[in-house]
Structure 1
Amino acid sequence: MKNYFFYISILFLFLFSSCVSKKKFVYLQGSQDFSNVSTNYDPIIQNDDLLSIVVTTQEVEAAAPFNLPSYLVDNEGKIDFPVIGNIQVSGYSIKELKSMLKQKLATHLIDPVINIKILNFKVTVLGDVAGPGIKSFDNHRVTLFDAIGASGDLTIFAKRNNVLIVRDIQGLKTFNRIDITKADFVNSPFYYLDQNDLVYVEQRKSKINSAALPTISLYASLFGLLLTSTILLTR
């Protein structure tokens, strides 16, 4: 009978020690009142961005020269815009560039309407995700969860509370640690990604040990077998 209690104690201790709190896996925990979250994300234009700039006005023919297929931001942060010439655009937000172009075009067009889009928006996702690589998007309102979803989600071994985002801000690399298990992450300046961001997901140190553990169903089978064997041996 002593052996019976000994084996049962060891099994429960093993099961308890191998369990991992679900808090390490669940996204956006805590208060989820997002009523005050701003969705007015406005990306900053960078060198090598490929821009779509569409100009419309009542005078269709007058606007036609400005509507090229795309504009490439050169390594000095400029684009060559018809009639106006070279314009510094790197460092401007989409909204700021719209305002600037509208002012410059006011002498050429009547009430121009300008729409700007980044055509080559991409981020790189590496580390403990199902499908790492470069992820391209057809819009510039890309959240970290969009990138994670495009990568097939994080693996069960990923550190969800320590996701690294490397961001270039006007030539300066910044390294930012993000906890996506917290609901207030949506208020972070890194909830929306900038083009060319690098997202790196580190794996937990317990990955190797966790990978070697049986599943819960196997635990149950082993428990039943051990219990039966112990009862037979102690009769």
Structure 2
Amino acid sequence: MKKLFFALSLLLTVFASSCIPHKDTLYIQNKGNQVDSLQTIVEQQKAYRVQINDILNIRVKALDQENVQIFNPIGNGDLNASSVEKSYFDGFTIDLHGNIRIPTLGKMNVLGYTTEEIEQRIEEKLLEEQFKETANIFVTVKLTGLKYVTTGEIGNTGTNVLYQERVNILEAIANSGDIPVTGDKKDVLIIRQYPQGQKIHHIDLTDVNVMQSPYYYIQPNDMIYVKPLKQKAWGTGTNVLQNIGAVATVLSLISTTIILLQRI
């Protein structure tokens, strides 16, 4: 009987410790460690500078639109193609050398420039080589959607594209099916591409200060990785009720084994 009581106490301790705390399941909690947000706000407001493999959507307008038709997609492609596919075929992909190839203008290096700076460069080159000031050339350059990848312990893994100028980490995760209870919200990894290579950044989504992080807004080609909690690896329940059920099953098995052994 003492052995049974000891086994019961041990199992209850193990399963109680394996429950996922409620505070670890909540987003943006006020943990009382408010920090100065001036520097991070400045970082968040910096314009994105294009990278290799980004796809740009370039449109040129003028008083006589026929004169600039060559710069704009005709739009007679596959009508069944998705928006992402159309963006790929109609857009201008930045190659490994940081160049895009524009009709009549040839190659132009845009690596590390903002979309506004690229607009100015194309407009200046058109006025130098193709048109006069009276043509009223107007150039727009945009990224063809904000593409990112989600992997790990998250609702839906894979590549996602959102057609917005800015997307924060919570929006990106919500668009990917949210993080389940078994996902680690306290240490989410953002793998970001830079001209020098990739870097890993860690953010805590349970802390309200995440909104002041320079990595709160995601960038094109970011990879968001959510690690599973240890409780999932242990195979235990995520709450007390599930653990009680597991304990009852184990105890039933132990009791049955003891009774059978006593009868031998």
Q: TM-score interval w.r.t. the shorter chain?
A: 0.7 to 0.9
Q: CA deviation at 1:120?
A: 5.9
More off after superposition, 72-81 vs 136-145: 136-145
Aligned to 2:171: 146
Aligned to 1:71: 92
- Please state whether the residue corresponding to 1:206 is helix, strand or coil: helix
Taking only the aligned residue pairs, the percentage that are identical comes to 27
Distance in 2 (CA, whole Å) between partners of 1:167 and 1:218 is 38
Aligned to 2:121: 100
Q: Deviations over 1:188-214 (max 9, x none)?
A: 222222222111111121224573366
Q: CA deviation at 1:106?
A: 3.3
Question: Cα–Cα, structure 1 residues 94 and 155, in superposed 2: closer, same or farther, change >3 Å?
Answer: same
**Would the aligned equivalents of 1:117 and 1:139 in 2 still touch at CA under 8 Å?**
no
Counterparts in 2 of 1:205-220, with a 5 A limit?
A: 205-209=230-234, 211-212=236-237, 215-216=240-241
Aligned to 2:66: 61
Aligned to 2:50: 45
**Would the aligned equivalents of 1:26 and 1:181 in 2 still touch at CA under 8 Å?**
yes
Q: Deviations over 1:134-176 (max 9, x none)?
A: 2223345232223211221111121111111111101411111
Distance in 2 (CA, whole Å) between partners of 1:48 and 1:165 is 18
The letter for the 1-side match of 2:24 is: K
Aligned to 2:23: 23
Aligned length: 215
| Greater share of helix | 2
Q: CA deviation at 1:180?
A: 1.5
The letter for the 2-side match of 1:99 is: Q
**Would the aligned equivalents of 2:236 and 2:243 in 1 still touch at CA under 8 Å?**
no
- Please state whether the residue corresponding to 1:106 is helix, strand or coil: helix
The letter for the 1-side match of 2:25 is: F
The letter for the 1-side match of 2:206 is: T
Aligned to 1:136: 161
**Would the aligned equivalents of 1:63 and 1:109 in 2 still touch at CA under 8 Å?**
no
Aligned to 2:109: 88
TM-score for both structures, normalised by structure 2: 0.67
The letter for the 2-side match of 1:141 is: R
Aligned residue among 144, 152, 168 for 1:119: 144
Distance in 1 (CA, whole Å) between partners of 2:186 and 2:242 is 28
Give the unaligned 5+ runs of structure 1: 1-5, 223-235
Q: CA deviation at 1:88?
A: 0.4
Give the unaligned 5+ runs of structure 2: 74-89, 248-264
Distance in 2 (CA, whole Å) between partners of 1:145 and 1:208 is 25
Question: Cα–Cα, structure 1 residues 133 and 211, in superposed 2: closer, same or farther, change >3 Å?
Answer: farther
Distance in 1 (CA, whole Å) between partners of 2:127 and 2:27 is 48
**Would the aligned equivalents of 2:71 and 2:103 in 1 still touch at CA under 8 Å?**
yes
